[in-house]
Amino acid sequence: MASCCKHWWHASVYSIISLLLAFLAISTALRSNHKNAIPATKPVARGLQLNVSRALRRAGFHTMATLLQVSPELFLSSPNSTIFVIKESAISYVSIPPLLLKDLLQYYTTPSKLSMNDLLKKPQGSCFPTLHRKKKIAITKIDARLSHIEINNVLVSHPDVFLEGPIAVHGVVGPFSPLDPQDVHQRLNFIKSPICDNNSTLVSDFLEPENMVEWRRIIQLLSSYGFVSFTIGLHSVLDGILEDHASLSTATIFAPPNLAVVASSSLLLDKIVRFHILPRRLTYKELTSLPVRTLLRTLVPGQDLEVNLKKGLVNINGAEIAAPDLFSSEKFVVHGVSRAFELTYQFS
């Protein structure tokens, strides 16, 4: 009996420490990023905020209740909100770096109120925006007979935990995105969202299904080989590439040592990065076999790359392939080039 009580005491202390650490982590994130912080919740919503927190505690979502009570601006920054919450047993909040924890929490909030009944009326494959940049969530399975629904292949286990005013809260059995420890540690696109088209309809369940280009691996390899600026550029525009080229199954990437436009406008950066990607896989041997002045279609409409030979070496748009076949798989190949390609016309 004494041993049992002792273990219970340890568990209680651990729970309290976990809650405190989660609170400190998210508070630190907000203070360190105050310039981009979400506007604070209006005082008139304070009573509603407390009601949500109480409902979460009653349902067993203690960490989320604490976070919502002390940092409501993370969840309640839009006129209407639907918040999906996870129990501590399914995720270790304290193991996630503060700024990434903030991103994760915003990914579980959509700026519209959706009750369980509303969700069940939606067609399977419907996508919804979230508070985290352009990342979306999607209804991947509906069983209207059993009133079961899955978001990102995760079951909604506690529907309508809270449903009052402009807020809906639902509990889910686990994370919407697999949390790869290596991705979290390196802070590389650790939230893997579904791919949706312009009509907010699901195209693919995950970022990298089996028939897709392995973008996560490409970004990791580029970073490890020292292509820092190009890695940053590709990472920042990847969501747009996936949205516009959802069915892309092979690719050739020309990686320059420097990409000066990383600090430029987002539109120009997007075009420059896409200009270095072909929607087909071409090894160095295949490039050398192409006729001189062959044009290669890129991900920028109307902007092709020209293949030439100089002293027996392949160059693309005048840039030498300095590191041919740097790394590759069945779906992609990366060549290191001596410099970045220049677009033939500018974008405003």
What CATH number corresponds to the domain at position 75?
2.30.180.10
In a domain, 200, yes or no: no
Of the residues 172, 196, 216, which one is the last residue of a structural domain? Answer: 172
Residue 113 is given by DSSP the state -
248 and 163 assigned to the same domain:
no
The pTM of this model reads 0.55
* Same-domain pairing of 91 and 226: no
In this structure, are residues 205 and 194 in contact, taking their beta carbons and an 8 Å threshold?
Answer: yes
% of the chain surpassing 90 pLDDT: 39
Whether residue 116 is found in the same domain as residue 213: no
Q: 133 and 17 in one domain?
A: yes
How many domains, in total, are found in the chain?
2
- pLDDT value of position 36: 44
- The CA distance from 216 to 209, in Å, is 12
Same domain, 220 and 327: yes
Helix (H) or strand (E) holding 337: strand 332-337
pLDDT at 247: 76
What are the angstrom distances between the C-alpha of 12 and each of 17, 18, 223?
A: 9, 10, 42
The reply to whether 194 falls in a domain is no
Q: pLDDT class for 238, splitting at 50, 70, 90?
A: confident
| Domain membership flag for residue 28 | yes
Residues 216 and 149 occupy one common structural domain = no
Instruction: Quickly count: other Cβ atoms within 10 Å of residue 1's Cβ.
Output: 5
Q: Report residue 134's pLDDT band, with 50, 70 and 90 as the boundaries.
A: confident
Do 23 and 150 lie in a common domain?
yes
* Residue 239 banded pLDDT, cuts 50, 70, 90: confident
> Which residue type, as a one-letter code, is found at position 209?
P
Average pLDDT on 277-287 reads 95
200 Cβ neighbours under 8 A, 6+ residues apart: 126, 127, 128, 136
Residue 53 lies in a domain: yes
Same domain, 18 and 150: yes
Domain holding 310, by residue range, is 208-337
The answer to whether residues 218 and 168 belong to one domain is no
